[in-house]
Amino acid sequence: MSKELHALRLKRLQDAIALKEPDMVPCAPMHTTFPYLFAGYTMADILYDTGKAKDSIRKYLNHFQPDAAYGISTVNAGMGPLFEKLGVKWMQWAGQPGSNIDKNSMHQYIEKPYLEEDEYPEMLGDYTGWLMKKFLPRGFKALEPMSKISLSGMRNSNFLPYSPQFANPEVVEMFRLLGEVGAQAGKVYAESAVFNKEIEEMGFPLQMAGIVTAAFDQLSDNLRGTLDTMMDLYTQPENVTEAVEKFFPDSLASTIAMANASPSTLKMVYIPLHKGMDSFLTHEQYKHFYWDTLLRLINGLVDAGLVPWVYCEGPYDSRVECLMDVPKGKTYIHFETADMRRVKKLLGDKACLAGGISSYMLKWKSKEEVVDKVKENMDVLAPGGGFIFDLGDTIDDANVENVEAMFDTVRTYGKY
């Protein structure tokens, strides 16, 4: 039975992506904490126990029967002990000793300029060296000794004269810890991969075969921070352009490799757009710094036989015309906040669509209000096909009865 259900769900999703009308609207809402809280655990439990994470996903899938599923790596299940050992500075998480994060919350990133304002030439000229000497020590307490190592002169006969640096007790301990962390991380990732196969065998296509961010977001999210990156657009735009071009090729190649190694039969690649929203960039800045490499990423994934899942975060009305350039019938575009009638008019014959309603209703609205809102969303986006039901954001802390009403309404009202 699982095989038949898997085939039915997969065809339903693939038909929607190809802009066809499936037998019914696929229901594949993205979730964060909900399955784990539904199963009776805290997120602190999940960050430190993969067994509880897997139990949660099994219960969620068996109870709600969505058309697609997610594994446990999206919430960093089991990674808490490794984050502690590494002394991660760029994130706080549930269960972390001394953290301000609630036990039931998702992790929170800590943005700051890990790349200093005057370090673009160094980073662009010797990216690996800069990562080793600057970024890793700034991002991980356990890797601070990395700043004391220099490999630049270690050629041929110069190797041994430079080798005493590796006898530094702090460096020795760092490499010992890295070996330990690497072995433990390998076990967690291997366990997650096995569970991903189990999800497919249970009859649920795995929605996420890979994840990648736009090249601009890689700079802004991970290296410079939002405020400093936005200032750089005016004070050193040539360095921003060069950095974006530098990050793009490797991110495309590594994402294709990741997705091809995934057991996901849907082969969808998740692209969360963090800084592309209406309010951060002017339209010209968006086209130059953001959309140019993002479109190349989308086309590259399509050429590799993958499905780009363009996840537009924040208000996105001013960017819709750009999105009209995506390959027809090959892309899944999700909106958090936009005029969905206009989105359907401009993109309905170009890409499969989703989103536009807030998960807020699942926590605070009545069951009747949830049903009405879901129907309203389908009335706009479902006609003609090319639609997968998802919320504008993710299912977090929610009223179980309302979540059930959402699923039931899509199944009963969303038939073609």
189 with 257, same domain? yes
Contact 70, 46 (CB under 8 A): no
252 with 137, same domain? no
300 with 193, same domain? yes
3-class secondary structure, 23: coil
* Domain tally, the chain: 2
Q: Domain with 366 in it: what CATH number?
A: 3.20.20.210
159 with 22, same domain? no
123 with 69, same domain? no
Long-range contacts of 132-140 (CB under 8 A, 24+ apart): 135/223, 138/89, 138/114, 139/88, 139/89, 139/90, 139/114, 140/86, 140/87, 140/88, 140/89
The CA distance from 409 to 374, in Å, is: 7
Domain boundary among 167, 195, 210: 167
The CA distance from 276 to 283, in Å, is: 10
359 with 395, same domain? yes
Q: Considering only CA atoms, which of 334, 387, 384 is closest in space to residue 356?
A: 334
The CA distance from 373 to 411, in Å, is: 14
248 with 205, same domain? yes
Strand partners, 108: 92
Strand partners, 307: 268
29 with 159, same domain? no
343 with 267, same domain? yes
pLDDT in tens, the chain (416 residues): 689 999 999 999 999 999 999 999 999 999 999 999 999 999 999 999 999 999 999 999 999 999 999 999 999 999 999 999 999 999 999 999 999 999 999 999 998 999 999 999 999 999 999 999 999 999 999 999 999 998 888 888 889 998 999 999 999 999 999 999 999 999 999 999 999 999 999 999 999 999 999 999 999 999 999 999 999 999 999 999 999 999 999 999 999 999 999 999 999 999 999 999 998 899 999 999 999 999 999 999 999 999 999 999 999 999 999 999 999 999 999 999 999 999 999 999 999 999 999 999 999 999 999 999 999 999 999 999 999 999 999 999 999 999 999 999 999 999 99
256 with 191, same domain? yes
161 with 186, same domain? no
> How many residues comprise the chain?
416
Q: What is the pTM of this model?
A: 0.95
Domain boundary among 100, 135, 167: 167
- pLDDT at res. 153: 81
The domain of 120 spans 113-167
Domain boundary among 103, 137, 167: 167
34 with 161, same domain? no
